[in-house]
A and B are shown apart, each in its own frame.
Chain A
Amino acid sequence: MTTPNALLVIIRHAPHNSNWLREGLDAALVAAAFGQPVHLLFMGQGILALLKEQGSGAAGQKATLPTIDMLEMYDIEKLWVTEEALQGMHLTTDSLVEGVTLLAEQQVPGLLQQHSNILNF
């Protein structure tokens, strides 16, 4: 089942390490603001963006958490993470922000197929 026009934004980079995360989330927010259905898939280090206890970085380095919290306001409801990736990082959903949906690793190819647009950050 493909949602026409839907955008999947893949987030693979951690907070406070580069600007990839911030600029990836910006793309997701702008797409959602334009009314495009947007879903996020967090992979690898990108999962660290979902840790609920994260703070701001070194002086002048903005925190990511407020942006993550904004996703719901923009109707970005699906934040996908694979169970295997969470286990691999010895994390459970208790450590993550609310609203994360787990999927099995083998469902990832299907998730990509379902979206007519994909951006990988």
Chain B
Amino acid sequence: MMQYGLLVMGAPYSSPAPHSALRFAHAVLARGHQLAGVFFYHDGVHNASSLMAPPQDELNMRDAWAELHQQHAVPLDVCIAAALRRGLMDESEAQRHGKQAFNLSPPFELTGLGQLLELQQRADRLITFA
């Protein structure tokens, strides 16, 4: 059994990367490995938006990641600098920046880039989807 980390840098509905990453994540778990974490960077931060509302016949990527977390306790870390630039923030960041809305909530967590480097060191494998 190995520890896997995933780095996701593509936005849902713009890039196939999140779909590939999600299917890979389930395959990793199905082979008996553990997912040490998923880190969302660059345009990948859009995966965390709780305001995405795709048509009913399309996968809601945010909910799909949240389900992965609920079933397997996989940490979902979002780079805070990449997120704030792109208008993704949780309630406390919204207050801090004087914004009227927020669109990021648990199980997604805003965190620093250090978390990515820590994940790369801790995991036996880091696979990038971008």
Chains A and B touch (C-beta atoms under 8 A apart): yes
Residues of A within 8 A of B (CB): 5, 7, 19-20, 23, 26-27, 30-31, 34, 36, 117, 119-120
CA distance A23 to B116 in the complex (A): 13
Given contacts A19-B42, A20-B42, A23-B42, contact A120 B116 (CB under 8 A): no
B81 at interface by CB-CB < 8 Å = yes
Per DSSP, chain A at the interface is mixed
Closest approach, in angstroms, between the C-beta of B83 and any C-beta of chain A? Answer: 12
Partner of B82, one of A5, A7, A23, A117: A23
Closest approach, in angstroms, between the C-beta of A69 and any C-beta of chain B? Answer: 20
B54 at interface by CB-CB < 8 Å = no
Partner of B117, one of A7, A19, A20, A23: A7
CB-defined contacts of B41 to chain A, threshold 8 Å: 23, 27
CB-defined contacts of B106 to chain A, threshold 8 Å: none
Query: Is the CB–CB distance between A30 and B82 below 8 Å?
Result: no
Query: Is the CB–CB distance between B128 and A120 below 8 Å?
Result: yes
Closest approach, in angstroms, between the C-beta of B42 and any C-beta of chain A? Answer: 5
Given contacts A5-B121, A20-B42, A117-B121, contact A27 B116 (CB under 8 A): yes
Query: Is the CB–CB distance between A34 and B114 below 8 Å?
Result: yes
Of residues 10 through 47 on chain B, the ones whose CB sits less than 8 Å from some CB of chain A are 41-42
